[in-house]
Chains A and B, each alone.
Chain A
């Protein structure tokens, strides 16, 4: 069965960086785009971008351009999202989510990781 297992909670100081991992299993990792979505406490969902695990190509939301880097390691079926220059309003649960369609960005997410809480506090 498809599973996305994310790394554990992080506490960071303002200005630092955080790198969240998302280990995939149960399907062909390189066949499906991986998206990242975050949710601040008590707030709605916010799309951050995607990575094509096959090519390594990325597409980031303009809001995060210059601060976010999405990468992957196909040898261990793991995607990563690194966010730099953290601010207090980056405090959120960060989710990885698999795209629904094979080799295509359909912008629908059928499997989600359990979420990783990133807390930014001095």
Chain B
């Protein structure tokens, strides 16, 4: 099972919006609504930001939103803030009953 494809890096200025894509196949992203997004700051454990494509856990800012079209899922962060600078990973359930992660995207807030 191949990893999901994410851009290596994205950047934006404070207050702007950015979108991170996560491309898979019909056997993972396209076939199930079990796409999640995680934020990871250096030296810390990942934090769940989005689950089931577009749901936010309690306590996660509504500046974070998720969506999916075909085999590509997306994470959008609006009103970019300095503390959003981190690595972001997508994941998906697959037809093999396993979980696959994306390679990760480094978000830089300029």
Of residues 1 through 48 on chain B, the ones whose CB sits less than 8 Å from some CB of chain A are 1, 3, 34, 36, 38, 40, 45-48
Residue in chain A with minimal CB distance to B50: A108
Do B98 and A100 touch (CB < 8 A)?
no
Residues of B within 8 A of A46 (CB): 101
Minimum distance in angstroms from A81 CB to a CB of chain B: 15
CA distance A97 to B89 in the complex (A): 15
Known: A45-B89, A47-B99, A47-B101. A107 touches B45 (CB 8 A): no
CB of B91 closer than 8 Å to a CB of A: yes
CA distance A59 to B104 in the complex (A): 24
Interface size on B, residues (CB 8 A): 26
CB of B92 closer than 8 Å to a CB of A: yes
What are 18 contact pairs spanning A and B, CB under 8 A? A44-B89, A44-B102, A44-B103, A44-B104, A45-B38, A45-B91, A45-B101, A45-B104, A47-B98, A62-B1, A100-B57, A106-B51, A108-B91, A110-B48, A112-B45, A112-B46, A114-B45, A115-B45
Residue in chain A with minimal CB distance to B103: A44
Do A113 and B38 touch (CB < 8 A)?
no
Known: A44-B3, A45-B104. A110 touches B57 (CB 8 A): yes
Residues of B within 8 A of A49 (CB): 98
Interface size on A, residues (CB 8 A): 23
Residues of A within 8 A of B102 (CB): 44
Residues of B within 8 A of A106 (CB): 34, 51-52, 93
Of residues 51 through 68 on chain A, the ones whose CB sits less than 8 Å from some CB of chain B are 59, 61-62
Known: A45-B89, A47-B91. A109 touches B98 (CB 8 A): no
Name the contact of A44 in the complex, choosing from B1, B93, B97, B101 (C-beta under 8 A). B101
Minimum distance in angstroms from A49 CB to a CB of chain B: 8
CB of B109 closer than 8 Å to a CB of A: no
CB of B100 closer than 8 Å to a CB of A: yes
Residues of B within 8 A of A95 (CB): 45-46
Residue in chain B with minimal CB distance to A63: B1
Minimum distance in angstroms from B27 CB to a CB of chain A: 14
